[in-house]
């Protein structure tokens, strides 16, 4: 990892902003625009042809049958099923707390105001599956949608040579999802946004994916809703001399191994830790099965920033706005109040990031590329919407009529004023 030292805070901020811009690639944008246009024009034919081109899989049918799902459930190691069940229970209990409920008030006699919360009707959940299968992303996507009460959940995941990964199908079964299509990448997002002969069009698309998936979600926004830009994984770590280099390096690599475009950033006030972590990363890399992916990520997006104070460290990390933020400082909880921008925060030396990826309960579908400045973790709220309503009595309308009419005429909107006044006669 590159160690950046002897630079001013402003110089480092400029560097970080420059690196964040790199997460939007114009070449990927053009490729994705082309894929979306082709899926809109050719539907299932385009999906099957992209499955062959990008995933090297020839498909007759896109939908996974219920017998395949049931068979998968039986074929998976019971220990893995038990771990999935435990994760599902934790994710459910955490997300249950996010459920928004309807409310109403009556500010005075004759006036009733309210907000009715409903579930979205149809959502598409993207489960990544290019370089690895992600059963955990099935649970993270589907369980909040279920808690919200979404009736129609369509899951898409890239096709695999030997059929969809059985653990992914088992996770779908545990989450209660039975509408699963073998389609990935930008073409899957296009199919969910516009519909094809096999795949129904949805109201919102959620879920993580690589740069093609994230760029496609950005491109179809407006035609459908999206949850956020949840692209290649990122980790930012704030650590001082009290942290163990081997822990910090292991956690940096845990996200680097996701994608060649993953980002791994350490900000520290300790030169000793900076050097030790850099050495540890080089050492631990060599023993990872996904060494090529992790090395590419670390070489292009792995940085260690050395600054003077903990306040500077936090200030810079708020500019990075990482998907995951670990605080490996003494009394980590005390720093939480100063964190403005991060997808999810892991406090102290034992809250290692993969706990959140799999089991603890908070969601692992999180904003990347600096979008944690304005986006949040996937939650039940993403699958709910709100309808406001109003009820007035004749007397209450009379009380308010002249004020509404005055404001309407001030805006030059005479028909508005008359709609109120016609009820006075």
Ligand X SMILES: NC(=O)c1ccc[n+]([C@@H]2O[C@H](COP(=O)([O-])OP(=O)(O)OC[C@H]3O[C@@H](n4cnc5c(N)ncnc54)[C@H](O)[C@@H]3O)[C@@H](O)[C@H]2O)c1
Ligand Y SMILES: N[C@H](CO)Cc1c[nH]c[nH+]1
- Where do contacts with ligand X occur on this chain (CB under 6 A)? 31, 54-55, 128-132, 137, 158, 184-186, 208-210, 212-213, 230-233, 258-259, 262, 323, 364-366, 368
Q: Are 137 and 208 in contact (CB under 8 A)?
A: yes
Minimum CB separation of residue 167 from Zn ion in Å reads 16
Instruction: Give whichever of 48 and 324 is closer to Zn ion, judged by the CB atom.
Output: 324
CB 248 within 8 A of CB 266: yes
Of 98, 280, 324, 353, the active-site residue reads: 324
Decide if residue 357 touches Zn ion (CB under 5 A): yes
- Residue 121 assigned as binding residue: no
x/- track of binding to ligand Y for residues 111-150 (CB under 6 A): -----------------------x-xx-------------
- CA distance linking residue 17 with residue 34, whole number of Å: 29
Annotated catalytic, 410? no
**Distance in Å, CB of 140 to Zn ion, minimum:** 11
Q: Could you say which of 146, 204, 217, 364 contacts ligand Y (CB under 6 A)? A: 364
Q: Which stretch binds Zn ion (CB under 5 A): 85-93, 162-170, 186-194, 351-359?
A: 351-359
- Binding site annotation covers 324? yes
Check binding of 323 to ligand Y (CB under 6 A). Answer: yes
Q: Which of 323, 326, 353, 364 is an active site residue?
A: 323
Residues 59, 50 contacting (CB under 8 angstroms): no
Using CB under 5 A as the binding rule, the residues of this chain from 40 to 79 that contact Zn ion are none
- Which CB atom, from 73 or from 360, has the smaller least distance to Zn ion? 360
294-324 burial, b for 16+ CB within 10 Å, e for fewer?
Answer: bbbbbeebbbbbbbeebebbbbbbbbbbbbb
Does 187 show up as a binding residue in the annotation? yes
Residues 204-243 binding ligand Y (CB under 6 A) are: 233
Distance, first Cα to last Cα, the chain = 77
Q: Is 71 assigned a ligand-binding role in the annotation?
A: no
- In whole angstroms, give the CA distance from residue 45 to residue 187: 11
Using CA of residue 284, residue 286, residue 288, residue 294, what is the dihedral sign? positive
Query: By C-beta, is 196 or 215 nearer to ligand Y?
Result: 215
Question: Rounded CA gap, 139 and 356, in Å?
Answer: 12
The DSSP bridge pattern shows strands 111-119 and 384-392 to be antiparallel
Question: Toward ligand Y, which CB reaches closer, 275 or 352?
Answer: 352
Is residue 326 within the footprint of Zn ion (CB under 5 A)?
no
Q: Write out the two tokens for 244.
A: 């163990």
Which listed option, ligand Y, ligand X, Zn ion, none, makes contact with residue 262 (CB within 5 to 8 Å by class)?
A: ligand X
Q: Give me the least distance between CB of 123 and ligand Y, in Å please.
A: 19
Say how far apart CA 234 and CA 302 lie, in whole Å. Answer: 10
> What mask of x and - would describe binding to ligand Y in positions 158 to 197, judged by CB under 6 A?
----------------------------------------
Handedness of CA 379, 125, 364, 186 (dihedral sign): negative
Q: Which does 129 bind (CB under 5 to 8 A by kind): ligand Y, Zn ion, ligand X, none?
A: ligand X
Instruction: Tell me whether residue 56 is annotated as binding.
Output: no
Q: Which of 220, 228, 227, 209 is nearest to 35 (CA)?
A: 220
**Residues contacting 116, CB < 8 A, separation 6+:** 102, 386, 387, 388, 389
Answer yes or no: is 126 a known binding residue: yes
DSSP line for 265-300: EEEES-HHHHHHHHHHHHHHHTT-TTHHHHHHHHHH
Q: Which does 382 bind (CB under 5 to 8 A by kind): ligand X, ligand Y, Zn ion, none?
A: none
HSE-CB at 179 with a 13 A cutoff on CA atoms is 17
247 or 323: whose CB is closer to ligand Y? Answer: 323
The least distance separating ligand X from the CB of residue 4, rounded to whole angstroms, comes to 24
Contact 117, 386 (CB under 8 A): yes
Stretch (H or E) spanning 112: strand 111-119
Q: Which is nearer to ligand X, 38 or 384 (CB)?
A: 38
323 catalytic per annotation: yes
Phi, psi torsion values for 57, nearest 5 degrees: -125, 130
Q: Which residue of this chain has its Cβ atom nearest to ligand X in the complex?
A: 185
Element at 11 (helix H, strand E): helix 9-21
Instruction: Name the one range near Zn ion by CB under 5 A: 206-214, 240-248, 330-338, 353-361.
Output: 353-361
Q: Which residues bind ligand Y (CB under 6 A)?
A: 134, 136-137, 233, 255, 323, 357, 364
Q: Which residues bind Zn ion (CB under 5 A)?
A: 357
Active-site positions read 323-324
Binding residues for substrate: 233, 255, 258, 324, 357, 411, 416
Binding residues for Zn(2+): 255, 258, 357, 416
């Amino acid at each position: 990892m590159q160690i950046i030292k002897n630079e001013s805070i402003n110089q480092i901020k400029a560097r970080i902003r420059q690196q964040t811009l790199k997460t939007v690639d114009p070449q990927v944008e053009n490729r994705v625009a082309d894929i979306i246009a082709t899926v809109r024009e050719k539907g299932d034919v385009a999906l099957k042809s992209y499955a062959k081109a990008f995933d090297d899989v020839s498909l007759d049918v896109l939908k996974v049958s219920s017998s395949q799902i049931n068979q998968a459930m039986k074929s998976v190691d019971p220990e893995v099923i038990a771990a999935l069940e435990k994760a599902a229970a934790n994710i459910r209990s955490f997300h249950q707390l996010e459920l928004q409920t309807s409310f109403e008030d009556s500010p005075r006699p004759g006036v009733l105001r309210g907000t009715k919360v409903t579930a979205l009707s149809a959502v598409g959940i993207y489960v990544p599956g290019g370089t690895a299968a992600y059963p955990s992303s099935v649970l993270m996507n589907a369980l909040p949608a279920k808690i919200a009460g979404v009736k129609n959940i369509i899951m898409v995941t890239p096709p695999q040579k030997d059929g969809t990964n059985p653990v992914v199908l088992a996770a779908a079964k545990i989450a209660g999802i039975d509408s699963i299509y073998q389609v990935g990448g930008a073409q899957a997002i296009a199919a969910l946004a516009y519909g094809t002969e096999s795949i129904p069009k949805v109201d919102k698309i959620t879920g993580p994916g690589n740069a093609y998936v994230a760029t496609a979600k950005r491109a179809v926004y407006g035609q459908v809703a999206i949850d956020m830009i949840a692209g290649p994984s990122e980790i930012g770590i704030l650590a001082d001399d009290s942290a163990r280099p081997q822990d910090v390096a292991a956690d940096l690599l845990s996200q680097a191994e996701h994608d060649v475009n993953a980002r791994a950033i350490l900000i520290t006030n300790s030169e000793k830790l900076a050097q030790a972590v850099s050495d540890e990363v080089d050492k631990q890399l060599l023993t990872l099965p996904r060494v090529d992916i992790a090395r590419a990520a670390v070489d292009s997006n792995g940085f260690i920033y050395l600054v003077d104070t903990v306040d500077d460290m936090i200030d810079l990390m708020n500019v990075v706005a990482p998907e995951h933020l670990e605080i490996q400082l003494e009394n980590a909880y005390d720093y939480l109040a100063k964190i403005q921008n991060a997808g999810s925060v892991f406090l102290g030396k034992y809250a290692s990031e993969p706990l959140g990826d799999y089991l603890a309960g908070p969601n692992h579908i999180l904003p990347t590329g600096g979008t944690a400045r304005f986006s949040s973790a996937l939650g039940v709220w993403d699958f709910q919407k709100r309808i406001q309503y109003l009820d007035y009595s004749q007397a209450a309308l009379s009380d308010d009529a002249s004020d509404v009419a005055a404001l309407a005429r001030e805006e030059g909107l005479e028909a508005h004023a008359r709609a109120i006044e016609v009820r006075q006669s």
